[in-house]
Amino acid sequence: MTVDPGPASSPGAVATPAVARRTALLLDALAVLVAVVLLGPALLPGLVLSYDMVWLPDLSVTQAGWGLVDGAPRAVPSDQVVALLDELVGGVVLQKAVLLGSLVAVGSGAHRVVRTAPAGLRAAAVVLATWNPYVVERLLLGHWTMLLAYAVLPWLHVAGRRAARGRPLPAGWLLLLPIGSLSGSAGVATALAAVLLVGVVGRAGPRRWALLVAALAAANAPWVVAGLAAPGSEPPTAAAARTAAEVFAARGPDGVPAPVAVLGLGGIWNTDVVPASLAGPWAWAWAAAVVGLLVVASRAVAGGPPVRERVAVLGLAAAGLGLGLLTWCWPAASAAVALAVPGGGLLRDGSRLAGLALPALLVGAATAAARATGATRATRAALARGARGARRGVVLAPALVWVLPLLPVAALPDAALGVQQRLEAVAVPDDLARAADALADDDVPGAVVVLPFATYRAPAWNGGRPVLDPTPRALGASGREVVAADDLYVDGRRLLGEDVRGRAVLAALALPDADARTDALLRLGVSHVVVDRGPDVADAPAELVPGLRAEPLLTTDGWDVRRLEGRVAAPPPASTGRVVVLAGAWGAFAVLVAAGGLGALRAAVVSARRWDRRTHR
């Protein structure tokens, strides 16, 4: 992607093109280094499975991935995109490319947003964008699609600045939109960012606005259409919506008020993923630093970003941080949105959009650099007049700038090495693939239910770390529909899922005897069950893994595959209209990816030719 140099007025000395290129390469190398140190053992052989981050060595293309099954399409389009891409490079390599690539991308984009600042401050922007509470907490909770949305923010910012100067948008910029829209929440974040950073900052005219709106519609079409067309989803009751809003509201760890956590780019609802260093004074330091940069970003300064850009990035920060604060102080509002607006439940996890503050923080850094440059010039002028103490200021200012990159690391030291090895790559047992093969080889048609019928597991082979049960995704390789649980238990509170069929399965499992349970499952079209084994399963409630009338097909150390005894009901035929509209949505998504990919490829070829010409002069 072609890079825009930023505001026309440079607060620093004008560098030659060769020096500017070398500086950019060194800062890109710093972005790689910071990302590697942060991920640590996550980059070793194997897969990282942490809470919502569920990857497999070879994820299969399934109807669920297209959005053609009942329930909320929470993994659309991310699962299908991964399933298609891992045919090329394999799931292990792909996951590492996504995790490392997202962190490197946000760091390398950040220093380009503050390109006219001194090199030390640009290095600080790299570290701050990569090493902060938002990134660490989302990594641990497994929100990799949100990290991709976060990674495209500085590049959208650079594109908007380029357009504001009357130049065409960078080739391949359209590819940023589908990359940042691989889940519902990520799509909302990317849409807000694109509107403000490309549309407003870029001074878009009617044609560019039309292109932007159409591209955003295509980028989000798969999950939007799948959600609207899902026949088996049931809206929450008022009580359920209120409970969910309270559970997912922003909060701080023990001793840290929720507003402080949110303003420090944290506030995640699951405090188990909050690093220990953020449960004390460092949480206040992060909040103070963020608020300070936002205040600086609001100030006009010669050589700094223009008013339109400052208003746009501050509006984006207000949306991200304000939503987190709103869910904390007024959870009834997010509950009302979830009841009134289809898909409104996406907004109940208020801190999920806190990363939208990044562009404003970078503008604050650029503004601070412009102010510091003005102060340095004044000091030099005073030195020329012979003022006492001026020489000390001229010497100390550049030295202090190089301390700035160390501050984020000092304020969040336990993020290093995969958050103290909490992000650890493991090997997925081969028995899981054997279970899928056993289901594929059986001639009896029907759907599959995984027992215990629960959302999360803490398998021993994953080091006892909680993860969204990978078994349903792995069994998709059998070609059968897998009915998975979507109820969630948080601090002893049950959050009802939206999948009507899942609720029916849960009701069937609660019947008093094995025959009644089996017959009820058969009427629901369930022909097989796969029973997880492990220490965490032994602790599961009995009603989630009850006895059934079934014939064993495969027994392994980790999973048992059983066929229910009896006649299974045939599933209802798929709605042709639903297939057609989803095909259209995916077609629009594919066209956008192709257009953006071709643009990016063309830009890469042009850059390679320029590099070749420079090296052969």
pLDDT tens track for 479-493? 999 998 888 887 778
- What per-residue confidence (pLDDT) applies to 349? 87
Domain boundary among the residues 389, 421, 453 is at 421
Decide: 350 and 325 in contact? Cβ < 8 Å.
yes
The pLDDT, as a whole number, for residue 350 is 82
| d(C-alpha 135, C-alpha 408), whole Å | 12
| Domain match, 409 and 483 both | no
Residue 376: pLDDT over 60: no
Residues 271 and 388 in one domain: yes
CB 269 within 8 A of CB 247: yes
Q: Is 486 a domain residue?
A: yes
pLDDT for 216 beyond 50: yes
Encoded tokens for 294: 């936002």
- Domain presence at residue 576: no
- pLDDT, position 6: 46
CA distance 270 to 274: 8
Q: Are residues 325 and 401 located together in one domain of the fold? A: yes
- Any domain includes 226: yes
Q: Which residues, 6 or more positions from 20, have their beta carbon under 8 angstroms from its beta carbon? A: none
Rounded distance, CA 383 to CA 89, Å?
60
The residue type of 242 is: R
The segment with the largest mean pLDDT, out of 5-9, 286-290, 495-499, 510-514, is 286-290
pLDDT of 233 reads 66
Encode 257-277: b = buried (16+ Cβ within 10 Å), e = exposed: ebbbbbbbbbbbbbbebbbeb
491 or 299, which is more confident? 299
The beta-strand segments (E) located in 481-534 are: 482-483, 488-490, 493-495, 526-532
Give the pLDDT score at 550. 96
> Are 412 and 517 in the same domain?
no
Q: Are 226 and 579 in contact (CB under 8 A)?
A: no
Provide the pLDDT for residue 11: 42
Is position 370 within any domain? yes
> Which residues are within 8 A (CB) of 387 and not within 5 positions of it... i.e. 6 or more apart?
none
Sign of the CA dihedral with 425 first, then 429, 435, and 440 last: positive
Tell which of 363, 390, 421 closes a domain. 421
Does residue 22 carry a pLDDT above 60?
A: yes
Residues 496-524: what's their mean pLDDT?
A: 91
Q: For residue 303, which of 244, 374, 251, 391 has the smallest C-alpha distance?
A: 374
pLDDT, tens digit (0-9, with 9 covering 90-100), for 301-325: 777 789 999 999 999 999 999 999 9
Q: What is the pLDDT of residue 342?
A: 78
> Would the pLDDT of 131 be above 90?
yes
The reply to whether 490 falls in a domain is: yes
127 and 186 belong to one structural domain: yes
The residue written with tokens 């389009």 in the block is: 77
Q: Which domain holds residue 528?
A: 431-564
* Percent of the chain clearing pLDDT 90 (strictly above): 70
- Residue 8: per-residue pLDDT: 37
- Asked if pLDDT for residue 31 goes beyond 80, the answer is yes
pLDDT at 12 over 50: no
CA-to-CA separations, 384 to 375, 388, 398, 514, in angstroms, rounded: 14, 10, 18, 92
Using the predicted structure, report yes or no on whether residue 387 has a pLDDT greater than 80: no
pLDDT score of 9 more than 50: no
**pLDDT (0 to 100) of residue 66:** 94
Q: Which one has a higher pLDDT value, 55 or 571?
A: 55
Main-chain dihedrals φ then ψ at residue 489, nearest 5 degrees: -110, 120
In this model, does residue 386 exceed pLDDT 70?
Answer: no
Q: How confident is the model at residue 90 (pLDDT cuts 50, 70, 90)?
A: very high
70 has pLDDT over 80: no
Average pLDDT over residues 463-467: 94
Q: Are residues 393 and 295 in the same domain?
A: yes
Question: Most distant CA pair in the chain: distance in Å?
Answer: 98
Range in 143-157, 181-195, 262-276, 381-395 with the lowest mean pLDDT: 381-395
State the amino acid at position 451 in one-letter form. Answer: L
**Residue 313 falls in which region: left (phi positive, over 0), alpha (psi -120 to 50) or beta:** alpha
Instruction: Convert the pLDDT of each residue in 393-449 to its tens digit.
Output: 444 556 667 788 999 999 999 999 999 999 999 999 999 999 999 999 999 999 999
User: CA-based angle 590:591:597, to the nearest 5?
Assistant: 85
Q: Cβ atoms within 10 A of the Cβ of 388, count?
A: 8
Residue 237 in domain: yes
Cα separation, 82 vs 144, whole angstroms: 12
If asked whether residues 403 and 439 sit together in one domain, one would say no
In a domain, 230, yes or no: yes
How many structural domains comprise the chain? 2
Average pLDDT (56-76) is 89
Higher pLDDT pick, 496 / 194: 194
Asked if the model's pLDDT at residue 13 lies above 50, the reply is no
Is residue 4 over pLDDT 70?
no
Q: What mean pLDDT is predicted for residues 347-355?
A: 91
Whether residue 245 is predicted with pLDDT greater than 70 in this model: the reply is yes
State the average pLDDT over residues 251-271. 95
The letter for the amino acid at 133 is: P
Share of the chain above pLDDT 70, in %: 91
Angstrom CA distances, 602 to 219, 542, 599, 608, stand at 21, 59, 5, 10
Of the candidates 520, 476, 516, the residue with the CA atom closest to the CA atom of residue 501: 520
pLDDT single digits (tens) 533-556 = 888 777 677 767 889 999 999 999
DSSP lists the bridge partners of residue 69 as none
- Residue 372 — pLDDT band, cuts 50, 70, 90? low
Nearest of 19, 16, 359, 371 to residue 161 by alpha carbon: 359
Question: In terms of Cα–Cα distance, which of 139, 133, 130, 131 is closest to 48?
Answer: 139
Average of pLDDT values for 376-386? 54
Q: Mean of the per-residue pLDDT values for the chain?
A: 89
Q: Is residue 223 very low, low, confident or very high in pLDDT (cuts 50, 70, 90)?
A: very high
Domain end residue (candidates: 564, 582, 609): 564
Same domain, 113 and 23: yes
Residue 134 has pLDDT above 90, yes or no: yes
Cα dihedral 115, 116, 118, 121, rounded to 10, equals -50
Are residues 448 and 416 part of one domain?
no
For the cut 70, the answer to whether the pLDDT of residue 18 exceeds it is: yes
- The reported pLDDT for the residue numbered 381 is 55
Report residue 260 as tokens.
């402080």
Residues 474 and 524 in one domain: yes
Query: Is the predicted pLDDT of residue 62 greater than 70, yes or no?
Result: yes
- Give residue 238's pLDDT band: very low, low, confident or very high (50, 70, 90): confident
Query: How far is residue 540's CA from residue 274's CA, in Å, rounded to a whole number?
Result: 26
Q: Does residue 187 register a pLDDT over 90? A: yes
Query: 446 and 556 share a domain?
Result: yes
Q: Which has more confidence, 399 or 244?
A: 244
Residue 572 is assigned to a structural domain of this protein = no
Q: How far apart are CA 233 and CA 465, in angstroms?
A: 30
375 pLDDT band, cuts 50/70/90, is: low
Indicate if 137 and 115 belong to the same structural domain.
yes
H or E element in which residue 259 lies: helix 258-263
- Residue 207 to residue 504: CA distance in whole angstroms: 49
